[in-house]
Amino acid sequence: MAESLMDVKRRIDSTKKTHQITSAMQMVSTSKLNQIQKHTSTYQVYASKVESIVSHLAKAHLMSASAGVANSNSNTISVSELLAQRPVKKTGLLVITSDRGLVGSYNSNVLKQTNDFMRTHKIDADDAVVLAVGGTGADFYKKNGLNVAYEYRGVSDVPTFKEVREIVKTVTSMYHNEVFDELYVFYNHFINRLSSGFRSVKMLPISEETFEQSESDNRKAKDSRVDVGPEYEMEPSEEAILSAVLPQYAESLVYGAILDAKTAEHASSSTAMKAASDNAGDLIDKLNLKYNRARQAAITTEITEITGGLVAQE
């Protein structure tokens, strides 16, 4: 009985230490979530404005007319790289996951949904080129024999635009060099602190069809009306406008996805650590009850033995 009590006591002490760790991790994740939400909410306004501008340009059929535009500045992303369309032989999959675990179902959901996308679109290992942002996705696809052409680990808790710009330049360069012929971005979208939803967005090539499909989806629940195509007078020129707007759109798309995914990651980590803390607390209560019952049984046994000895002496 003494060993049993000692074992239960050890489990209680061990579980209390685990509870302290998970509680501390929950506080850290919650703090990171509060910090990144300030950036996410303000950035979404900018990203939506950029997307709106590009959507208007697409409806005005300016992008197809300017598919051959080339940037004079070598330090910026080439417009021709963003607009170039060709027969699809290889599909690029930009998958955003975390670098670590302890984030609940965050990573498994992204990987499962991405695999479902591949099956639905009949993309096998020979047709896929994986670009992994986050160590979990990179390790997963390497283990499963897919071609991981690019990986980026160590994304900041609050990603900066500068580090994402390098990712976009690398991705567009690979597209220009025909490593892949189209590119989709996969990530978890932050809904609220308790839930997130999977998103897949086509990034390259930027085409009118992408925005026409988006506009069609947005009008499904609305009444029918006559659409009037927008007309623009460009100053200084169509080429200059596209050279300024399209690279910003590509950068905003990837940066927004990574920022959104990081927000969902922190929320998932906070929720997972809270669940772990609650489970540890429940286990501590059960172990304390078990310990007290075992201790009471031991005391009762000792009293019975003493009383029996006194009776035997009489």
DSSP string, 265-306: HHHHHHHHHHHHHHHHHHHHHHHHHHHHHHHHHHHHHHHHHH
Q: What does the alpha-carbon distance between residue 244 and residue 248 come to, in Å, rounded to a whole number?
A: 7
Question: What residues does 150 pair with on adjacent strands?
Answer: 131
Domains (range + CATH), the chain: 46-62+76-216+235-271 (3.40.1380.10)
Nearest 5°: the CA angle 9, 14, 16 is: 95
Return the residue matching tokens 């939400």. 37
Question: What residues does 152 pair with on adjacent strands?
Answer: 133
Q: Which long-range contacts (CB under 8 A, 24 or more apart) does 226-232 make?
A: 229/59, 229/60, 229/61, 230/56, 230/59, 230/60, 231/60, 232/56, 232/57, 232/60, 232/62
What pLDDT is recorded for position 220?
45
Q: What does the alpha-carbon distance between residue 226 and residue 233 come to, in Å, rounded to a whole number?
A: 23
pLDDT tens track, the chain, 314 positions: 445 788 888 888 999 999 999 999 989 999 888 888 888 877 878 778 777 777 777 666 555 555 444 454 445 556 666 777 788 889 999 999 998 888 888 999 999 999 999 999 998 888 899 999 999 999 999 999 899 999 999 888 888 888 888 888 888 888 888 889 889 999 998 888 888 889 988 888 877 666 655 554 444 434 444 454 556 566 676 677 777 777 778 888 888 889 989 999 999 999 999 999 999 999 999 999 888 888 888 788 878 877 777 777 76
pTM: 0.79
